[in-house]
Amino acid sequence: MAAKVSIPEFQTTALDAIPTIASTARGTFRTHKTKKLQWRQVQLRKLYWALEDYKPQLLAALKEDLHKSDFEALLHEIDWVKKDCLFMLDHLEKFAKDEKLRSPDVPVTYSPMKWRIRKEPLGAVLIIGPYNFPVQLLLAPLVGAIGAGCTAVIKPSELTPACAMVMKEMIEARLDSSAIAVVNGGIPETSALMNEKWDKIFFTGSAAVGSIIAKKAAETLTPVVLELGGKNPAFITKNANLALAARRLMWGKTTNAGQVCMSQNYVLIDKDIVLTFIEHLKQAYKEMFPNGAKASPDLGRIVNQRHFQRLKKMLDDTKGKIVMGGAMDESELFIEPTAVLVNSVDDSMMQEESFGPIFSIYPVNSLDEALNVANLVHRTPLSLYSFGSKAENQRVLNEMTSGGATLNDSYFHGSLNSVPFGGVGDSGWGAYRGKASFDCFTHFRTVCETPAWAEPLIAVRYMPFDMSKLRLLNRLTGPKANFDRNGKVVKGFGYWASFILGLGGKSAKGAFLRWLIVLAAHYLYTNRAGK
């Protein structure tokens, strides 16, 4: 139960304050203090405890903005980001350490030059968040930015004003305000932020706004990460466990009232099993909402009137048949989990991203047809789901791409904070979470150091050139092709020599172990023979 707390009224950041906020972030980065591992660790620890201490305010804000249950607010938002902080803290030293480059990346002849990759923070970064997981999707990238040693300005969604205000208060009270700032507002404030120079922009939101951000960023060649939406398909074949598929897909469309960018937009199902699947869906509905969805304390609400109307229009425009749910109450922004049986790819329920508790069911004659339809609707969705035999699931993975995928479930691949998450093509650029969050805000700078004593060895590069020295250099450092002009691998002397010396394998470690076994066997045999 959320405790009674007071949440400040939403206030946008003054437009004329934004250039100063941005230049403070840039200036602080130039002091180099955020590069220190200790600064990063302290900020992450402070963020962890801030989330714990502001839990009552955050729970109340999530309830106010999205009617989010405490269960979801903890699992998907507050505890999620706390876990992110712990993960980053646990691995930070390892992530931030220089990576030594050795053979096979660096030929042995180049090894005296101490090749390494230095992990450098990109600089001052801008993070723009969406409304659906207002805490997680704004602060999880921030964990990556802090871990990498960047300064950051974060811009929560104005559609979740209570969360935006609580996060602003929390971050200003607890984190280093010379390095991390919160700007509140909508389009004017985001545009003002976009007029500033950043070292990276991390955007989560719709493809339409993502495209505006990418265009603006391109003017200053600023790199961007885009975490966008998609029209995600679920495939169900005759070999699926239909009861399980129905239950799990209901999970995908009921969490956060379906306002999950990964949740399925439509289900492509073998026509012979459609009616049975619908019965299982209804059964799953009954189990999840024994008193009806509206009475459930667990089901969230649509964020605002505009999104409510958008979803209503999708349902009003469909030529399909509602086979589960369909009820709405505008005064409460309530939409019942709803499934619509459709028969055309052009149907509104197939063409628009639902991003709500509604989805369509499209019967197909075969998996071939399902794959054709899915590739037609959206070739590069954020996620896809496949419920079929092992071979069918493999085929779906093989013949259709997506940002991430789960076999036999809805978005379980997105429920772990330690593995990379991101879209592909027009569902997103770049990835984060786990180590990817650190990498996302890091420049991997290759460094080498050429010692003075090596000068006679590397002087070959200076003019006047000598072709005989180039040939010698190539013999010493150049790799040799092990294939002919038809692309066929040629097993020459080198291959057979290493095969024999390696006792049938290629890796030095494996060869060492095999030699050890042979020598041990030989030793035991000769000792026994000598007895």
Ligand X SMILES: NC(=O)C1=CN([C@@H]2O[C@H](COP(=O)(O)OP(=O)(O)OC[C@H]3O[C@@H](n4cnc5c(N)ncnc54)[C@H](O)[C@@H]3O)[C@@H](O)[C@H]2O)C=CC1
For position 222 contacting ligand LZYFJN3W by CB under 6 A, the verdict is no
Choose the binding region for ligand X from 172-180, 203-211, 363-371, 372-380 (rule: CB under 6 A).
Answer: 203-211
Distances (CA, A) of 22 to 15, 370, 438: 12, 48, 22
Instruction: Give the residues across from 359 on adjacent strands.
Output: 339
Exactly one of 157, 232, 348, 402 binds ligand X (CB under 6 A); that residue is 157
Selection from ligand LZYFJN3W, ligand X, none that 190 binds (CB < 5 to 8 A by kind) is ligand X
Q: Can you point out the beta strands (E) in 107-156?
A: 116-121, 124-128, 151-155
Helix, strand, coil % (nearest 5) of the chain?
50, 15, 35
Question: φ, ψ for residue 507 (rounded to 5)?
Answer: -75, 145
Cβ-contact 129, 204 below 8 angstroms: yes
Cβ-contact 289, 257 below 8 angstroms: no
Measured from the CB atom, the residue of 205 and 388 that comes closer to ligand X is: 205
For position 133 contacting ligand LZYFJN3W by CB under 6 A, the verdict is yes
For position 261 contacting ligand LZYFJN3W by CB under 6 A, the verdict is yes
* Type of residue numbered 295: A
Kindly name the residue from 227, 336, 353, 392 that is annotated as catalytic. Answer: 227
For position 417 contacting ligand X by CB under 6 A, the verdict is no
Exactly one of 13, 28, 57, 132 binds ligand LZYFJN3W (CB under 6 A); that residue is 132
Q: Is 311 strand, coil or helix? A: helix
Comparing C-alpha atoms, which of 489, 276, 440 is closest to residue 363?
276
Q: Is 261 a catalytic residue?
A: yes
Question: Structure tokens of 247?
Answer: 């239950």
Selection from ligand LZYFJN3W, ligand X, none that 353 binds (CB < 5 to 8 A by kind) is ligand X
Q: Is 455 a catalytic residue?
A: no
Separation CA 44–CA 85 (nearest Å): 6
Selection from ligand LZYFJN3W, ligand X, none that 414 binds (CB < 5 to 8 A by kind) is ligand LZYFJN3W
For position 358 contacting ligand X by CB under 6 A, the verdict is no
To ligand X, the closest distance from the beta carbon of 514 in angstroms equals 47
Exactly one of 131, 266, 362, 385 binds ligand X (CB under 6 A); that residue is 131
Cβ-contact 64, 73 below 8 angstroms: no
Pairing of strands 334-335, 328-329: antiparallel
Exactly one of 121, 123, 229, 388 binds ligand X (CB under 6 A); that residue is 229
Separation CA 228–CA 430 (nearest Å): 11
Binding mask of the shown chain, residues 459 to 488, with x at each position contacting ligand LZYFJN3W by CB under 6 A: ------------------------------
* Type of residue numbered 119: K
To ligand LZYFJN3W, the closest distance from the beta carbon of 378 in angstroms equals 15
Selection from ligand X, ligand LZYFJN3W, none that 212 binds (CB < 5 to 8 A by kind) is ligand X
Helices (H), 292-425: 305-317, 348-351, 367-377, 390-399
Separation CA 253–CA 359 (nearest Å): 8
| Alpha-carbon torsion, ordered 54, 57, 58, 62, to 10 deg | 180
* Type of residue numbered 148: A
Measured from the CB atom, the residue of 254 and 393 that comes closer to ligand X is: 254
Separation CA 384–CA 374 (nearest Å): 10
For position 204 contacting ligand X by CB under 6 A, the verdict is yes
For position 137 contacting ligand X by CB under 6 A, the verdict is yes
Choose the binding region for ligand X from 24-32, 61-69, 122-130, 371-379 (rule: CB under 6 A).
Answer: 122-130
Exactly one of 296, 372, 415, 418 binds ligand LZYFJN3W (CB under 6 A); that residue is 415
Q: Is 444 strand, coil or helix? A: strand
Choose the binding region for ligand X from 47-55, 85-93, 152-160, 333-341 (rule: CB under 6 A).
Answer: 152-160
Measured from the CB atom, the residue of 237 and 383 that comes closer to ligand X is: 383
Measured from the CB atom, the residue of 85 and 228 that comes closer to ligand X is: 228
To ligand X, the closest distance from the beta carbon of 156 in angstroms equals 7
Measured from the CB atom, the residue of 261 and 274 that comes closer to ligand LZYFJN3W is: 261
Separation CA 340–CA 353 (nearest Å): 14
Q: Can you point out the beta strands (E) in 372-527?
A: 383-387, 404-407, 428-429, 442-447
Choose the binding region for ligand X from 115-123, 153-161, 272-280, 499-507 (rule: CB under 6 A).
Answer: 153-161
How many residues of this chain interact with ligand X, rule: CB under 6 A? 28
Question: Structure tokens of 486?
Answer: 């038809």
| CA-based end-to-end distance of the chain | 79
Distances (CA, A) of 441 to 91, 148, 212, 246, 275: 15, 6, 21, 39, 49
Phi-psi region at 149: left, alpha or beta (left = phi > 0; alpha = psi -120 to 50):
left
Cβ-contact 344, 319 below 8 angstroms: yes
- Enumerate residues 46-85 that contact ligand LZYFJN3W by CB under 6 A: 75-76, 80
Measured from the CB atom, the residue of 59 and 138 that comes closer to ligand X is: 138
Question: φ, ψ for residue 509 (rounded to 5)?
Answer: -65, -45
Exactly one of 152, 183, 245, 260 binds ligand LZYFJN3W (CB under 6 A); that residue is 260
To ligand X, the closest distance from the beta carbon of 257 in angstroms equals 13
- Enumerate residues 250-269 that contact ligand X by CB under 6 A: 261
List active site positions.
227, 261
Which residues are near ligand LZYFJN3W by CB under 6 A? Answer: 75-76, 80, 132-133, 136, 260-262, 414-415
Which residues are near ligand X by CB under 6 A? Answer: 128-132, 137, 155, 157-159, 186-187, 190-191, 204-206, 209, 212, 227-229, 261, 353, 355, 382, 423, 428
